[in-house]
Structure 1
Amino acid sequence: MRRSADYLAQGGGVVAWLRNHGLVIVNLVLFVGFLTGMTFAGWQVSNDDALDHGDPTQTVGAYLASGDYWEAVSENWESEFLQMASYIAFTIFLFQTGSSESKPIGTPAPQDEDPRRHRTDPKAPWPVRRGGWVLVLYENSMLILFAVLFVAAFVTHLISGAAAYSEEQLRHGLPGVTPLEYLGTSQFWFESFQNWQSEFMVVALLAGAAVYLRQRGSSESKPVHVPHAETGA
């Protein structure tokens, strides 16, 4: 047992690799599992709806290529990416007294330190040592990533939603719409707002609950013994 513990502590082997990357791995596995479940459940719902209207059913492949499928997927991804992009941006300059989700108030935070002071550090990431525009992109890369993903999901939602909306319109003998026309419909904004509101509600709840509530062992919580008024990790 002692040998096994020492081996894991040194970071060797597949087990140690899985342990060291468990947070990402488990969430990716759950993502794939739930996306697969959503796909097959949505396919069944789509075929049930087709039968109710006297239309032919479709294969899984056809459903995966449909506007209905990508509208359902992208409108959820859109709200998640918006939440994360906003949260990253807000936590740069907004604070919440007593919350572990906030930087300390009135004292320097490690996140604010100028990386240019570490340009000669041999262990610093390459963009830090490179400097210039490369470093400018790198020091804002997390926000850039989620902003780009939000825009991509938003556009996908717009295009696929227009296709699904047009298909429903045609069923009722009405004209379809272009993505630009769909942008002006209440249906598009209903789909967006119903997801956006829940994302920001959860963020507000997390930031507020972190002031008074604790979870021992979680990086999202302050240490259990820390006073409520203490802000930041």
Structure 2
Amino acid sequence: MRRFLSGNALSLFFLITFLLALAGQSLAGTAEYNDQQLAEGGTPISWAAFVTSSDFAVNVAENWQSEYLQFLLFILITAWLVQRGSPESKKHPEQGFSEEESRTGRYAVPGSPAWARATGLRRHLYGNSLGLLMGAVFVLSWLAQSVAGTAAYNRQRLAQLQDPVGWDGYVMSGDFWNRTFQNWQSELLAVLSMVVFSIYLRQRGSPESKPVGEPHETTGENT
């Protein structure tokens, strides 16, 4: 057990803190929702009712889709574009595409995944599996945001004696795109900051940083 915990400490830390943050969001969201209900003369609801509501679902989904968009873009764009001096960048655009550099096919090494040794579609799918997964989660969370957002938006409209809108009407609305761009811009700014600041600043011991004494112009993680 100790070996498992030490060998998976990083993922376990983020899993636990994610669950704690999600629980905190649900409790704070319930309190905020009930405060609004009381202010409008409505009836408070339970925690269980709130976490299964469209209001909670749309807030969670819109954050998830923006996070996975960030990872999707970063994974794909860094395959083609370079930032001189950043440890988040490859050293040159062509790096990593050849079979030898990718260790696929006849260049596979002992311990390489079976699909890296395969040919045709299997190797192509596995060679792009990380981007495909991130893209799939982004699309699914975007759809979840749009569906839950439609329900939450219509609940507000009905409370104001306005006609509900369909899914397509909500997806074209200012409310949907205000929520969406609000999250996208913050995620893209965070990535930009990491790429640029890591050129000149260091964090001792972190794999996200160059060694403390490495020259600023050194590019790539393998320094």
Fold conserved between structures, TM > 0.5: yes
SS in 1 for 2:78: helix
Other-structure match for 2:146 = 158
Equivalent residue letter for 1:81: Y
Q: Are residues 1:221 and 2:185 paired? A: no
Other-structure match for 2:105 = 116
SS in 1 for 2:79: helix
Other-structure match for 2:176 = 188
- Looking at structure 2, the residues matched to 181 and 105 of structure 1 have their Cα atoms a distance apart, in angstroms, of 44
Contact 2:61–2:141 at 8 Å: present in 1 too? yes
Q: CA-to-partner distance for each residue in 1:140-181, whole Å, 9 max, x for gaps?
A: 000001100000010000000111110001111001112111
- Looking at structure 1, the residues matched to 180 and 62 of structure 2 have their Cα atoms a distance apart, in angstroms, of 6
- Looking at structure 2, the residues matched to 183 and 42 of structure 1 have their Cα atoms a distance apart, in angstroms, of 24
5+ unaligned residues in a row in structure 1: which ranges? 1-13
- Looking at structure 2, the residues matched to 18 and 111 of structure 1 have their Cα atoms a distance apart, in angstroms, of 35
5+ unaligned residues in a row in structure 2: which ranges? none
Question: Normalised by the size of structure 2, how large is the TM-score?
Answer: 0.93
Question: Normalised by the size of structure 1, how large is the TM-score?
Answer: 0.90
Equivalent in 53, 58, 64 of residue 71 of structure 1: 58
Other-structure match for 2:200 = 212
Equivalent residue letter for 1:65: T
Equivalent residue letter for 1:200: L
Q: Spell out structure 1 runs of 4+ moving beyond 3 A.
A: 108-112
Q: Are residues 1:128 and 2:109 paired? A: no
- Looking at structure 2, the residues matched to 136 and 217 of structure 1 have their Cα atoms a distance apart, in angstroms, of 35
Other-structure match for 1:21 = 8
Contact 2:105–2:118 at 8 Å: present in 1 too? no
Tell me the number of residue pairs that the alignment of Structure 1 and Structure 2 aligns.
Answer: 218
The farther-off stretch of 194-203 and 108-117 is 108-117
Contact 1:118–1:124 at 8 Å: present in 2 too? no
- Looking at structure 1, the residues matched to 79 and 173 of structure 2 have their Cα atoms a distance apart, in angstroms, of 34
- Looking at structure 2, the residues matched to 18 and 118 of structure 1 have their Cα atoms a distance apart, in angstroms, of 33
The CA deviation at 1:110 is 5.0
